[in-house]
A and B are shown apart, each in its own frame.
Chain A
Amino acid sequence: MRLRECLGHPVLDTSTATTIARIDGLVVDPAQRRIAAIRLRGAGRKPIYLLWEDLDAFGPDAVTVASAEVLRRLENGALPYPELESIGRRVLTEAGDELGTVEDLEFDPSSGAVEAVFTQSDQIDGKRILGLGAYALVVAKPEHAPVLPTDRPPG
Chain B
Amino acid sequence: MTLLVRARELIGRPVVTLGGTDVAEVKDVLYRVSIGRMIGFSLNARGFLGGPLGTGLRWSEVHGLGRDAVMVSGEEAFRPLSELLDGTDPGDRDVLGDRVFTDRGVELGVVTDVVFAVESQAKVVGYEIGDLKVRGPSPGRKAFIPAPDTVSVSGEALVVPNAATDYLRDDLAGLGAAVEEFRARLRDNS
Using CB atoms and an 8 Å cutoff, list the residues of chain A in contact with chain B.
30, 92-98, 130-138
Contact = CB atoms under 8 A, between A and B. Distances in A.
B114 interface: no
A97 B67 contact: yes
7 contacts: A92-B16, A92-B69, A95-B66, A96-B64, A130-B18, A131-B20, A133-B21
A135 B67 CA distance: 16
B151 to A, nearest CB: 28
Contact of A138 (B14, B18, B67): B18
A131 to B, nearest CB: 4
Nearest to B68: A98
B17 interface: yes
A116 B137 CA distance: 47
Interface of B: 14, 16-22, 63-71
Q: In the complex, which of the residues B18, B66, B67 has the most CB atoms of chain A within 10 Å of its own CB atom?
A: B18
B16 A138 contact: yes
B64 to A, nearest CB: 4
Contacts of A134: 20-22
B148 to A, nearest CB: 28
Contact of B67 (A96, A133, A136): A96
A135 B71 contact: no
Given A98-B68, A132-B19, A135-B22, 4 more contacts: A92-B68, A93-B64, A98-B67, A138-B20
B68 A97 contact: yes
B16 A136 contact: yes
B20 A132 contact: yes
A73 B113 CA distance: 55
Contact of A95 (B17, B21, B22, B71): B71
Given A94-B71, A96-B69, A136 B64 contact: no
A71 to B, nearest CB: 28
Q: In the complex, which of the residues A30, A96, A97 has the most CB atoms of chain B within 10 Å of its own CB atom?
A: A96
